[in-house]
Amino acid sequence: MSLIEAEKKALALAAVQKADTIVIASHVDPDGDTLGSSLAWALILKKMGKSVIVYNQDALPYSYEFLPGAEFLVDHLPQSCDLLCLLDFSEFERAGKDLYEWRGYTESLCIDHHLTADPVADINLIYPQACATGELIYELVLCLDPGFRLDVAVNLYTAILTDTGSFRYSNSTPSSFKIAGDLVARGVEPWSVTQHVYESQPIGRIKLVGRVLETLQISTSGKGAAVWVTQEMFDETGTNSEFSDGLVNYPRSIAGVEVAFTAREIGPEEYKLSFRSRGTVNVAALAAEFGGGGHHNAAGCRLQGPLPQLIERVFAIIDNSFPVSDS
Ligand SMILES: [Mn+2]
């Protein structure tokens, strides 16, 4: 059950073998996949004697502080490196301005499962069929260190667990379960990971959920639902944007709703929208109408303007794809 073609795998492994210094970059607003993949990859490369820097421009979310190797994360880039690895994103701007402008690497390797029209790295291992970037890292790790240890396994399990929505989403494939099974056999304790990722919420998060749910709006057709979160809500609950992860799943869980989104205030009349679909609607296309992108069931964009109008604009598009019947 291998996704990566043999020639590509050989190219990637050769690039790793010949590099002495390696930078591993993960995307902004880091999730369990970009972090778990990066740390698993870092642990393997360090074991091979490489000098490794794990870069993310943002702070580590509290739910991922437990990941083995989390202490390697830094928010600044070095002068130079032999190999730059982009994990779980394939456009440089997804890792922030500093990485986008950085030219300190000799060769680049992208490992990702997001649909990309135009791969930018020297070597691109991009497989949208993979449930998570962690699945691709697992394949590579098996070549480099078949007997890999629990520290690597916990990271890969977290990557796959989070990107499949705890094995609930449609990207949960036989290989997601097979890999997870192997990782559990190597000592990963599912309940322990679950508690760290999903059941270690600060009280402020629950208070924030309460505030956000009060904002619920349903579109005319009943197929669209939205909630929003403002800086004021973060301030009042002692939280910040990293606590807004997953809020969109609440409106999507409403019976009849096909597309849900959250609008998070990021500046004066400026919002980051996160879309989630039940599957019928391709929200990557919806986000693209506003200059964003993503997957079929999860996508995002940024929009400017007064919030009520923004919500109306998006609801109009959703309702147009589900015309309300006259009968
Ligand atoms: Mn991912």
Q: Residue 293 is encoded by which pair of tokens?
A: 């992108």
Ligand 1 centroid from CA 241, angstroms: 19
Tokens representing 285 are: 């296309």
**pLDDT given at position 115:** 82
Q: Which residues contact 239 (CB under 8 A, 6 or more apart)?
A: 202, 204, 205, 207, 208, 233
**How remote is the CA of residue 134 from the centroid of ligand 1, in Å?**
7
| Confidence check: pLDDT of 327 > 70 | no
Q: What is the pLDDT of residue 245?
A: 86
Q: What's the gap in Å between 284 CA and the centre of ligand 1?
A: 15
Q: Name the least confident of 31-40, 61-70, 111-120, 209-218.
A: 111-120
Residue 268 is classified by DSSP as: T
Q: What is the pTM of this model?
A: 0.88
The average pLDDT across 238-264 equals 95
Q: Are 277 and 259 in contact (CB under 8 A)?
A: yes
Q: For the ranges 266-270, 286-290, 295-299, 303-307, which has the lowest average pLDDT?
A: 295-299
Here the tokens at position 175 are 């290989």
How far does residue 33's CA lie from ligand 1's centre (Å)? 5
Residue 171, pLDDT above cutoff 50? yes
Within the chain, all domains assigned CATH 3.90.1640.10 are found at: 6-198
> What percent of the chain stands above pLDDT 90?
90
> Is the torsion defined by CA of 127, 128, 130, 136 positive or negative?
positive
| 323: pLDDT strictly greater than 80 | no
Domain range 6-198, CATH class = alpha beta
The alpha carbon of 25 and the centre of ligand 1 are apart by a number of angstroms equal to 13
60 pLDDT more than 90 = yes
Q: Is 84 helix (H, G, I), strand (E, B) or coil?
A: strand
Q: How confident is the model at residue 116 (pLDDT cuts 50, 70, 90)?
A: confident
* In the chain, ranges of CATH 3.10.310.30 domains: 204-321
**Ligand 1 centroid to 305 CA: how many Å?**
30
Topology of the domain comprising 204-321: Diaminopimelate Epimerase; Chain A, domain 1 (3.10.310)
Q: What are the structure tokens assigned to 189, written together?
A: 């304790």
Asked if residue 273 has pLDDT above 60, the reply is yes
Percent of residues in the chain assigned helix, strand, coil, to nearest 5? 40, 20, 40
CB contact at 8 A, 216 and 225: yes
163 CA from centroid of ligand 1 (Å): 6
Is 80 exceeded by the pLDDT of residue 39?
yes
For residue 130, the CA-to-ligand 1 centroid distance in Å is 9
The confidence score (pLDDT) of residue 13 equals 98
Structure tokens at 232: 């004021």
